[in-house]
Structure 1
Amino acid sequence: MARLRCERCLRPQNHCLCALIPGLDSQTRVLILQHPSEVGHALNTARLAAMGLKQAQLVVAEVFEDLPALLNVPGYQTRLLFPGEGAATLTLEDGASLPMLLVVPDGTWRKARKLLHLNPLLAALPRVTLSNAPLSRYRLRKAPGPDALSTLEAIVHALHTLEPQTSFDALFAPFDALIEGQIAAMGEQTFQRNHC
């Protein structure tokens, strides 16, 4: 018999995270473009970020048919948060003239690159990357490097860079609970063997 799930956070009801999910406002708009393979993933941090930010939108697809409408938001400058050739370091000054629409691809690095390949309009956006990224709190997934962050962590760091007067740390409450819940479910020995 399938476990009952919370309809909002999609977690099993006995591990519902809704009480921990904030409703934070921001000047920056966040558009998360999620690869379909991530939707059912137990550690879907993009969904938590989208739920915790009032100015965030989560769209799931491989090819985004309505991308022109999603990217052209009057009064916002659009930037793609993704490393690569020509990516500029995100700074406070980037959001000084116009607020930013920050587009964040969500998936494994391979899947995120595929999203850019399948959506040339997305790949053509001016790119920004993070500097001085903190160590990841995401202890359950193998990272390609020490500066790799989960989608939620990358969004929080970007928002802190663009809006340093506001704290977005409340987004870490459901994130940390999600990680701790997964570790508890697998058992400490299994966690130590596979993730430490």
Structure 2
Amino acid sequence: MPRPSCPRCQRPLRHCLCALIPDLDSRTRVLILQHPSEVGHALNTARLAALGLRNAELRVGEVFDDLPQLLAQPGYRACLLFPGEDAVALTGYAPEEQPLLLVVPDGTWRKARKLLHLNPLLAALPRVSLGAVAPSRYRLRKAPEEGALSAIEAIVAALDALEAPQGFDALLRPFDVLIEGQIAAMGEEVFIRNHQR
């Protein structure tokens, strides 16, 4: 029989994270497009980000037929948070600058690229990237390359860059607790053997 889970954060009730999820406002609108393979993942960080930000939306799928409507948000300039040669590093807003609709693909690098391939409108968006970032706190997954972050960490870094001096670190509280809980569940020895290299 499946363990009862929280309908909001989708964690087992005994490990509900809702009390740690903040309620943050942002000028930037965040649209997270999540590959279906991420939905059942124990560390669904995109969901935590969407729950903690008032101006965020999480959509799940491979092909988004309503993408034109999602991208045409009045008062926002749509851009894609994804590395590339033509990607511009995010910096703070100028005083009168129109805020961004920050589109964040969520999945492995392969799945994220697939989302771009299947949704040409996404691939056509101007790309933005993060400047120098702290190493990932996601100690349970080996980063495929230097500077790779989980979805929630990338969103926090982007918002911190755009909306300084406002900070968005509170979004990472449930993420940190989730990681610690996973490490505790596997045992310190197993964690050190499999993840500390």
TM-score range for the pair, normalised by the shorter chain length: over 0.9
Q: TM-score, normalised by structure 1?
A: 0.97
Match of 1:78 in 2: 78
Match of 1:115 in 2: 115
Q: CA-to-partner distance for each residue in 1:20-65, whole Å, 9 max, x for gaps?
A: 0000000000000000000000011000000000000000000001
Once the two structures are superposed, the pairs formed by residues 15-164 of structure 1 within 5 Å of their partners are 15-93=15-93, 97-164=97-164
1:167 matched to 2:167 = yes
Match of 2:9 in 1: 9
Match of 1:184 in 2: 184
Q: CA-to-partner distance for each residue in 1:51-90, whole Å, 9 max, x for gaps?
A: 0000000000000010000001011111100001311111
| Partner Cα distance (1:54, 1:93) in 2 | 19
The CA deviation at 1:122 is 0.5
Q: CA-to-partner distance for each residue in 1:73-131, whole Å, 9 max, x for gaps?
A: 01111110000131111111478510110000000000000000000000000000100
| Partner Cα distance (2:26, 2:163) in 1 | 8
Number of residue equivalences: 196
Identity of aligned residues (%): 70
| Partner Cα distance (2:169, 2:88) in 1 | 24
Match of 2:193 in 1: 193
The CA deviation at 1:167 is 1.5
In structure 2, relative to structure 1, the CA distance for the partners of 1:6 and 1:158 (3 Å cut) is same
Question: Over aligned residues, Cα RMSD in angstroms?
Answer: 1.1
Contact 1:34–1:107 at 8 Å: present in 2 too?
yes
Structure 2: 5+ residue runs without aligned partners?
Answer: none
Q: TM-score, normalised by structure 2?
A: 0.97
Structure 1 counterpart SS, 2:142: coil
